[in-house]
Structure 1
Amino acid sequence: ARFGHSVKGLLTEKVTSCGTDVIALTKQVLKGSRSAELLGQAARNMVMQEDAILHSEDSLRKMAIITTHLQYQ
């Protein structure tokens, strides 16, 4: 009877430990998923900024041409 009781206690302990490990693993997976989501958002923001910079560069180039033409008048 004592042997069965100690095995039952050990089994309960192992099941609890396994449950704790599953919870920890789930938290890590969710954290990784969130990190990937944030990284994707950062990449999208960077692309949008790059487009804005290219547009600004083009506008500055056009303004320089206009300034040059106005100086000749």
Structure 2
Amino acid sequence: MMEREVVAKMAASADGQTKYGQSVKGLLTEKVSTCGADVIALTKQVLKGSRSSELLGHAARNMVMQEDSILHSEDSLRKMAIITTHLQYQQEAIQKKGELMLREWRRKLLCFHISQLFP
């Protein structure tokens, strides 16, 4: 009988070890799955943060470019205002010169007519 008891105990022990091994294996599989899901979630967050940083970088570069364009436009407007002032001075000078020339031509024409009337 002893042999049978030993065999029964060994079988029970082996069955217990098998159940324990399957239990540990199940827990390990569950933990690995959870860990894998956590790694995937972390990777997604890192990628999202990286994309956000990339978008912020693009926005900052675009803002700097816009600022440069605005400064360049302001400079161009100042130069155009100076040119406009100079053109106004030139227009006034041309107008005065034209008026003087017209008076001179009228005077000469009048003198010519008078000389024709009274030779």
Q: Same fold (TM over 0.5)?
A: yes
Please point out which of 21, 24, 29 is paired with 2:41.
24
Q: Which runs of 5+ in 1 are unaligned?
A: none
Cα-to-partner distance string for 1:3-61 (whole Å, 9 max, x where unaligned):
22212111110110000000110111111111111111111111111111011000111
- Mapped to 2, the partners of 1:46 and 1:53 lie a distance apart of 10
What's 1:70 paired with? 87
Q: Share of identical aligned residues, percent?
A: 85
Instruction: Please identify the structure whose Cα radius of gyration is greater.
Output: 2
1:1-73 maps to which residues of 2 (within 5 A)? 1-72=18-89, 73=92
Instruction: Could you list the structure 1 runs, at least 4 aligned residues long, displaced by more than 3 angstroms after superposition.
Output: none
Q: TM-score, normalised by structure 1?
A: 0.88
The amino acid that maps onto 1:29 is: V
- Distance in 1 (alpha carbons) for counterparts of 2:72 and 2:22: 75
**5+ residue gaps in structure 2?**
1-17, 93-119
Amino acid at match of 2:85: T
Question: What amino acid does structure 2 have at the position aligned with 1:18?
Answer: C
